[in-house]
A = this chain, B = another copy of it.
């Protein structure tokens, strides 16, 4: 697209939606980005920045002047401005904040005072709150009368004199109600209030569960301080659900725009941990070197036992990690869940053990070997099922993210149990000669 001259590029990009401009910049190879950015210059506004991938944005921010950035941030709702500013380095952050108007600065500084990934960072301060005694007509006059209000709201919050929310009102209800009706008769009293320090993942689960479009954020005194809208939640749900798959494999953030250097660092540290566990598993094999030397077929079959356990363990793990992420596992059904996975593991283990035993007997005609092979398969499947459910639930209780650390425990378990049960039974039974 941007191979030609700058003017053509500008004309082609101009009619695009900010999200599309952000995509275009992301999909442009890193070397060509500066040229593209220069030619479409003024089209890159705050909206484009807030739609952009973190890595690409950082690159772009470094190239921009703090004053320009402040101008962009001022156009945005607080939540989007915070999302851009929170990732910047301290010095850049200060420069941008200084260039903002005092009001905008205060709002952003306050948002930055809440913990990362909390509702306080996520919320926008712009919202419509009206007192309880107003009628629908009062609200209409208020909305039409003041120019300074945001136009980006989906619900109106009704508050008491202490600015505590007492109800919410969808705009469609207001539109369908005569002017004289009191707001307290239109609003819905049951509402989901979001504490300002709630974790964003929890906020997303509430939105999902109650099909919310927007929700009031309250401080520790129950006062309305902001609102969270569903468009921000959509991003979080997609990120959080996608993160689990990346964490489970130790791929870190796993973003394709992450610099290679950082990707190597994250992945390598995970691989080193896994190498440690692989050595533990290998040392189990080391105990049985004389049996293997006497009967090398053991070395052929042993990776099948450990590998199948690993696969079964990963299946259980995926199910349990997903169920934990969606709050489907509670104290009341933990044991039921453990029992469920053990039943599945017993059924699968028996089936695989039978296939393995019969298959190996047909090929090698060695009865005792086949029995040992089948028994090890059953044992390792049970270990996989038990580990796959107990490990993530335990980590979750200890407040450690089960998606990050479960896999390494479970595969170590299935490798060790696979090698130990197969080689150990072989040694005991004298198959190894």
The chain A residues found within 8 Å of chain B, CB to CB, are: 17, 19-20, 23, 26-27, 29, 51, 140, 143-144, 149, 151-154, 170-178, 190, 207-213, 230-231, 233-235, 237-238, 241-242, 244-246, 248-251, 254-256, 260, 263-264, 267-268, 270-272, 274-275, 278-279, 281-283, 285-286, 289-290, 292-304, 306-308, 311-312, 314-319, 321-323, 325-326, 328-330, 332-333, 336-337, 340, 343-344, 347-348, 351-352, 355-356, 411, 415, 419
Q: Find chain B residues with CB under 8 A from A209 CB.
A: 19-20, 23, 51
Whole-angstrom distance from the CB of A152 to the nearest CB of chain B?
A: 7
Copies of the protein in its oligomer: 2
Q: Is the CB of A307 within 8 A of B278?
A: yes
Q: Find chain B residues with CB under 8 A from A286 CB.
A: 297, 300
Q: Is the CB of A275 within 8 A of B304?
A: yes
Given A233-B234, A303-B281: A318 touches B246 (CB 8 Å cut-off): yes
From B23, B251, B302, A315 is in contact (CB under 8 Å) with B251
From B173, B283, B319, B329, A254 is in contact (CB under 8 Å) with B319
Q: Is the CB of A348 within 8 A of B267?
A: yes
From B20, B176, B207, A234 is in contact (CB under 8 Å) with B207
Q: Is the CB of A175 within 8 A of B143?
A: yes
Given A234-B208, A278-B304, A299-B299: A315 touches B241 (CB 8 Å cut-off): no
Q: Is the CB of B271 within 8 A of A285?
A: no
Given A171-B175, A318-B246, A319-B246: A211 touches B231 (CB 8 Å cut-off): yes
Q: Is the CB of B267 within 8 A of A344?
A: yes
Name the CB-closest residue of B to A144: B176
25 contacts between A and B (CB under 8 A): A19-B209, A23-B209, A140-B175, A149-B176, A152-B170, A152-B172, A175-B175, A213-B231, A230-B234, A245-B245, A245-B321, A256-B319, A256-B323, A256-B328, A260-B344, A267-B315, A267-B348, A268-B351, A270-B311, A271-B315, A272-B352, A275-B308, A279-B304, A293-B293, A299-B302
Whole-angstrom distance from the CB of A177 to the nearest CB of chain B?
A: 7
Name the CB-closest residue of B to A264: B347
Q: Find chain B residues with CB under 8 A from A172 CB.
A: 143, 151-154, 171
- Beyond the given pairs A27-B332, A267-B315, A283-B300, 16 more chain A to chain B contacts, judged by CB atoms under 8 angstroms and listed by A's residue number, are A27-B328, A144-B177, A144-B178, A152-B172, A154-B171, A154-B172, A241-B241, A241-B242, A245-B318, A246-B319, A251-B315, A270-B311, A271-B352, A275-B356, A292-B299, A293-B295
Q: Find chain B residues with CB under 8 A from A143 CB.
A: 172, 175-176
- Once bound together, how far apart are the Cα atoms of A281 and B283, in whole Å? 21
Q: Is the CB of A303 within 8 A of B318?
A: no
Q: Is the CB of A175 within 8 A of B177?
A: no
Name the CB-closest residue of B to A128: B172
Whole-angstrom distance from the CB of A158 to the nearest CB of chain B?
A: 15
Given A210-B17, A303-B278: A151 touches B174 (CB 8 Å cut-off): no
Q: Is the CB of B290 within 8 A of A296?
A: yes
Q: Is the CB of A314 within 8 A of B271?
A: no
- Once bound together, how far apart are the Cα atoms of A321 and B248, in whole Å? 13
